[in-house]
Structure 1
C-alpha cells in the first residue's frame, strides 16, 4: 500500500515537472523577444520613476495609474527587474514565464483541492500550461499584471478551500491577504467573491442563506472599492464616452453575446489569435452578422446546459467559474477600445479546462485507448500552435503584421501601422516602407498627429520639401500639446532661409513647452539670423540652464561667443563641454579654435 502511494506521488511529481518543462520549452524562444512599442515602452519611457527604484517612488507606484490601470505591484516588479537587470528584455520576459510556471503548480493544487481525479487534474493543468491563449500573458511584458494577479488569486482560493476543510482562521487570514495582493496586481481580481460563491455551491454544497452572504461582505467591499478605483482613471472614462458615441445600447447587447461566445470558441478552436481585436465596423447601421448569430448561440447553449442530465453539476461549475472571471471585462460598460483579449481568459479558462478534463476522464473509462490517443494528439497540436503564436511577439514588426492581418481597417489599427513604420525606420532603415505605413496610418486615423509628423520628417530627409511642408502642416493642425511638429517644421523653414516662419514655429513650440531644448535652439538660430546676437545668446543660456546636458546649445553658444563677442575663452569652455557631452565634430572645432587654450 505504501509503495502504491509512493508511486502515485512520484507520478504526480513527474507529471508536474514534465508539464513545467514543456511550458518552458514552448515559451523559451519568447524570452528573446523585444521590449515592444506596444505598452512595454510606455512603462519604461513614459514613467521615469520606474527606472529609479527608491522608497518615494515605491509609494508613488501605489498612487498612480500606469497605462490606464491601477497596478502597483506589477509596476514595482518592473522597477525591481530594471534595477537588477536594466532594460535587458530577456529578464523581463523571464519573470513573466517564472510566474506562469509557478501558476501551473498552483492550478494543479487548486484542482486537487476541488476533489478532481488524477486525469482531470492533469488535463486541466496541462491545458493551462500550454494552451495558445496563454501565450499573450506569458510573453508580453506588459501582461505582468495578468500572471501576477492570477498567482495571488489562486493562492487565495487554495487557502479559502483549506479554510472550508479545516476552519482554521489562519487559512482565512492568508486567503484575505493574498486576495489583497491580487487586487493590487490587477483590478480583475474583483471577481474573487464570485469564484468562492461558485466553489461553495458546487464543491461544498453550502446552503444559500443570509449568513452565506454576510460572511463574504469584506471581500465584496474590497472588490467594490477597487472596481470603482479602476473607473476613476480619466482615460478610462474617455474610452467609455467614445465607445458610447459609436454604438447603441441595442448594439451592446449583441456585442456582449459575441464576447460570451468568443472566449469559449477560442478555447476549443485557438486559431487566428491576435494581440488586438478591434470593435466591429457597422455597415448601414448594422453590426457584422456574427454578432447577431451569437445571441442565438448563447440562448441555445443556456438551454442545452440546463437540459443536461449527465455531468450537469461539473459543467455548471466550470461554466460559472469561467464567466465569473470574465464578467467584469465584458463590454457592458465599454471602457476599452478593443473588444476582447487573449489574456483576459488566463484565469477564467481554468473553468472550461476543468470541464474538458472531466469529459475526457469519463470517455477514458469507456474507451481508454481512444481517449489517450485523442489527448496526445490534442496536446501536440496545442504545443505547436503555442510555439507558433510565440513568434508573433518577437518584435514590433511581427506583432503589427499580425494585428493588421486579423483586423478590419479601423482608426485603432492605425496604431499597428505606426508601430510597423517605426520598426522599418529605426531598425531596418527602410524609409520607403516606413513612409507607406505612416501615410496608411494617417488615412485610417485623421486624429493621429504622429504619423503625418513622421512622414514629414522622411519627406524632409528625402529632399521632398513641399510634401514635408504639407505634412508638417497637417500634423500641427491636429496636435495642440507636443512641441515636436512645430519645432521640426521650423527647422524645415530655417533650411530654406525663411527665418520669419521658422521663428513663428519656434514660438508655437515654446508655447507648448517653454523650455523645450530644440525649440530654444531654433529660436536662437532665428534671432542670430536677424542680427540679434544678444537675444540669441540669452536664449541659449536659458536653454543650458534648463537642459544642462543638451550639447548643441553649448556648441552654438560657443560659436556666438567666438564670432560675435570675440570671447575665445568662454567659447572654448562651451566647446569643451559640448565635446564632453558627445556632440559630433567637436574635436575638430577644439583643434581649430582652442589649440592654444
Structure 2
C-alpha cells in the first residue's frame, strides 16, 4: 500500500535534487543555461511543497564545497533571483495557510518548542540511522499545557556536549557537509513553528535531509575499506543492511490495510503513560 497523498514530498525532492544537479553543472561549466534550469527546478519544487524554500541556503553549502570565495559578489548576485522567488513563495504560503502556521493557540509555547526541537532532531537522526519503532504516527512526548518532563532536557544537553566533545571531528569537510545538509533540510520541521500536527515527527519530511547522513555513512565506508579493517567493515555493513531488510519485511504487515494500521496506532497511543489523562480531556470537550 503506497501513500499516494504524500507524493508531493517525492515530487518536491525530485525537482530539488535536479536543481542541485544543475547548480553543480553550472559551477563546473559556468554555462548560464544550467543556472536558468536551477530557477526552473526550484519553482517546480516549491510548487510541489513549500519545504523547497531552503534551496538558496543549500546552494551556499555547495559553494563552500567547491571552495568558492564568499567575498566574491557574484556568489550573492547568483542567489538574488532565488531569494526573490523565496520571498514571493513565502508570501503565497502565508496567505494560503498562514493561520495554521502562525496559530499559537492549542500548541506549545515557544520555550517548549525550542526544547522539543532537540527531541525532534534526535528522533529524525536516530531513525534515519537505526529505523526501529517506526510508525505512521509519533505522538508528542507530553501534552499541551503540561510541564516539560525532566528527561526531555537530556536532549539539548547531550546535543551540546556531543558538539563540544567532537567539534574537531565535525569540522572535517566531508562530515561537516553531510551534517549541514541534514540540518538545512530538517530545520523547518523541528516544531519551532506551531504547525497543526498530531505527530512530533513525520518520516516523509526526512526523505531529502537524510541524504546528508547517508553520504556520511557511504564516505566512511569508503575510507574504512582502504584500511586493514576492510573485511570487518564489509561484514558489519552486510549485517547492517540485512537488519534494514528484515525490519522492512516485518513492518510491511502494518501497512496491509487501514485496519492493521489503525490497530498499530491504537497500541502506540494506549502504551503512553499519559493516555488516560489525554482521553479524559477529549471526553470533557
TM-score (norm 2): 0.88
1:259 and 2:120 matched? yes
Partners of 1:283 and 1:331 in 2: how far apart? Answer: 13
* Equivalent residue number for residue 404 of structure 1: 266
| Aligned 1:107-186 pairs, distance under 5 A | 139-186=2-49
* Equivalent residue number for residue 129 of structure 2: 268
* Equivalent residue number for residue 387 of structure 1: 249
1:302 and 2:139 matched? no
* Counterpart pick for 1:445 among 277, 282, 285: 282
CA RMSD, aligned part only? 2.7
Q: Give how far 1:307 is off.
A: 2.3
* Equivalent residue number for residue 503 of structure 1: none
* Equivalent residue number for residue 138 of structure 2: 277
Partners of 1:389 and 1:223 in 2: how far apart? Answer: 38
* Structure 2 gap ranges (5+): none
* Equivalent residue number for residue 219 of structure 1: 82
Distance 1:140 1:283, change over 3 A: closer
| Aligned 1:56-95 pairs, distance under 5 A | none
Partners of 1:267 and 1:276 in 2: how far apart? Answer: 16
Partners of 1:269 and 1:288 in 2: how far apart? Answer: 25
- The CA deviation string for residues 216-241 of structure 1, in whole angstroms up to 9 with x for no partner, is 0111222232233333335x624643
* Counterpart pick for 1:315 among 154, 175, 182: 175
* Equivalent residue number for residue 248 of structure 1: 109
Higher Cα Rg: structure 1 or 2? 1
Distance 1:409 1:281, change over 3 A: farther
Distance 1:158 1:207, change over 3 A: same
Q: Which ranges of 4 or more aligned residues in structure 1 deviate by more than 6 Å?
A: none
1:342 and 2:179 matched? no
Partners of 1:166 and 1:237 in 2: how far apart? Answer: 44
Q: Give how far 1:345 is off.
A: 0.6
Distance 1:217 1:407, change over 3 A: farther
* Counterpart pick for 1:326 among 172, 186, 189: 186
- The CA deviation string for residues 266-311 of structure 1, in whole angstroms up to 9 with x for no partner, is 12221111112222324994223442111112212322342227x7
Partners of 2:68 and 2:151 in 1: how far apart? Answer: 39
Distance 1:307 1:244, change over 3 A: farther
Distance 1:163 1:255, change over 3 A: same
Partners of 2:144 and 2:80 in 1: how far apart? Answer: 46
* Structure 1 gap ranges (5+): 1-32, 34-138, 414-440, 449-597
Which protein, 1 or 2, shows the higher relative CO under an 8 Å CA cutoff with sep ≥ 6? Answer: 2
